[in-house]
């Protein structure tokens, strides 16, 4: 199979319409993420079963816009979760001092230990996603693993942290 045969019909349309798709995404607010959205579109098209599509160009533009919307929702949702976590974990009126600072350092140590015990990949995936703000698809590409594996690693980390939080609340 030549590399030309490995490219599906829709992927060929993406290659032909790449500059238009990028301009379209930038005009709709994707900014610097336009290339990433286009890469996500490429991967989705590659993974999708090949079925005939009447107007492939319209289909791709609509799919690109939907991907961009999904990314925007994800970013807003992540920011909301982080804000809510911050509001719940550190009341504005109380700055950590003395005993509270000591407890906070101990809890942080326990969190880092719990993440390390999950294995280096799960720890890395969690930190890249939650602390660095890198998208799951990007992490999967960086590590050469499937998106499903990234999601499973994140679920493992979230379960471990939820158990740890329950233990902190019980103390």
Per-residue pLDDT, averaged over 116-134, amounts to 91
Write the CB contacts of 60 (distance below 8 Å, at least 6 apart in sequence).
10, 13, 14, 17, 21, 41, 45
Q: What is the mean pLDDT of the chain?
A: 84
Please, which pLDDT band fits residue 155 given cuts at 50, 70 and 90?
A: very high
Per-residue pLDDT, averaged over 9-35, amounts to 87
Task: Output the pTM of the full model.
Answer: 0.45
pLDDT of residue 126: 92
In angstroms, the CA 36 to CA 87 distance is 31
pLDDT of residue 68: 87
């Amino acid at each position: 199979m030549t590399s030309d045969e490995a490219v599906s019909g829709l992927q060929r349309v993406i290659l032909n319409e790449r500059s238009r798709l990028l301009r379209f995404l930038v005009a709709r607010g994707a900014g610097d993420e336009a290339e990433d959205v286009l890469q996500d579109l490429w991967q989705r098209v590659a993974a999708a079963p090949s079925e005939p599509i009447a107007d492939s160009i319209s289909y791709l533009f609509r799919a690109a816009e939907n991907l961009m919307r999904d990314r925007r929702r994800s970013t807003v949702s992540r920011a909301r979760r982080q804000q809510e976590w911050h509001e719940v974990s550190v009341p504005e009126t109380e700055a950590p001092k003395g005993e509270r600072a000591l407890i906070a350092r101990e809890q942080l140590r326990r969190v880092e230990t719990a993440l390390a015990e999950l294995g280096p990949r799960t720890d890395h995936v969690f930190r890249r996603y939650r602390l660095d703000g890198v998208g799951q698809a990007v992490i999967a590409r960086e590590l050469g693993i499937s998106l499903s594996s990234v999601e499973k690693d994140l679920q493992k980390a979230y379960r471990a942290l939820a158990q740890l939080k329950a233990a902190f609340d019980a103390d």
